[in-house]
Amino acid sequence: MFQVILPLKRGEIKWHILRLSLRFVSLHESELLQGANMPVYNNEIFVQTTGRTDIVDLTPLVSKEIIQSGVNDGAATLFVPGSTGALSTIEYESGVINDLKKAIERIAPEDMYYEHNERWGDGNGYSHVRAALMGPSLHIPIIEGKMTLGTWQQIVLLDFDNRPRSRRIIVQIS
Ligand code: ZN
């Protein structure tokens, strides 16, 4: 950067660019420094599911992780590996849980034709489509040691596979 700037001869322009680049460099370095000092908390949550659109409330388990991490202001990233699982938030009460299950059944019905079943014979084409539509991750801001969830908003794991599964959820907090 300096090699480009220094050969410039007109003073004002030179100083202007130099000042801009100095600001850029110092910002960049302070960011790097911060990144190096910032601790990252990594852990995993294990959940046994029944499959077939099993919806499990993860909120108490994630809250425990936030406390354990000691992070006061930051964010939690949650991710479920596997292409038939998903994460979302919902009010965890049986009425709306059943409403969501019915809505998902209307969007990607189990008994439809799926090319995936033809190719793999594992019968879970609908599970993959449902999981892709819902998404595998969540990013939740933490303020004053608490997740910024709404009062009636819980974190849920959705297992769409057509069999019981042991699920692993990655938790990263910083
Ligand atoms: Zn499959």
In the structure, what pLDDT confidence band is assigned to residue 139 with cuts at 50, 70 and 90?
Answer: very high
Indicate whether 25 pLDDT > 50: no
Q: How far is CA 84 from CA 24, 61, 69, 123, 128, in A?
A: 44, 21, 28, 12, 5
In the reported structure, the alpha carbon of residue 161 is separated from the centroid of ligand 1 by a whole-number distance in angstroms of: 8
Class of domain 41-173: mainly beta
Quick: pLDDT tens for 42-96.
Answer: 999 999 999 999 999 999 999 999 999 999 999 999 999 999 999 999 999 999 9
In the reported structure, the alpha carbon of residue 8 is separated from the centroid of ligand 1 by a whole-number distance in angstroms of: 62
The pair of structure tokens assigned to 152 is 């009636």
In the reported structure, the alpha carbon of residue 125 is separated from the centroid of ligand 1 by a whole-number distance in angstroms of: 6
- Those residues whose C-beta lies under 8 Å from the C-beta of residue 60, and which sit 6 or more positions away, are none
What's the count of helices (H) and strands (E) in the chain, helices before strands? Answer: 6, 8
Neighbours of 167 (CB within 10 A): 22
In the structure, what pLDDT confidence band is assigned to residue 34 with cuts at 50, 70 and 90?
Answer: low
Residue 142: closest CA among 116, 173, 172: 173
CA within 13 Å, CB half, 29: 6
Distance CA 152, CA 44 (A): 25
In the reported structure, the alpha carbon of residue 111 is separated from the centroid of ligand 1 by a whole-number distance in angstroms of: 15
In the reported structure, the alpha carbon of residue 50 is separated from the centroid of ligand 1 by a whole-number distance in angstroms of: 17
pTM score:
0.79
Q: Exposed e or buried b for every residue in 79-115, given b needs 16+ CB within 10 A?
A: ebeeebbbbebbebeeeebeebeeebeeebebeeebe
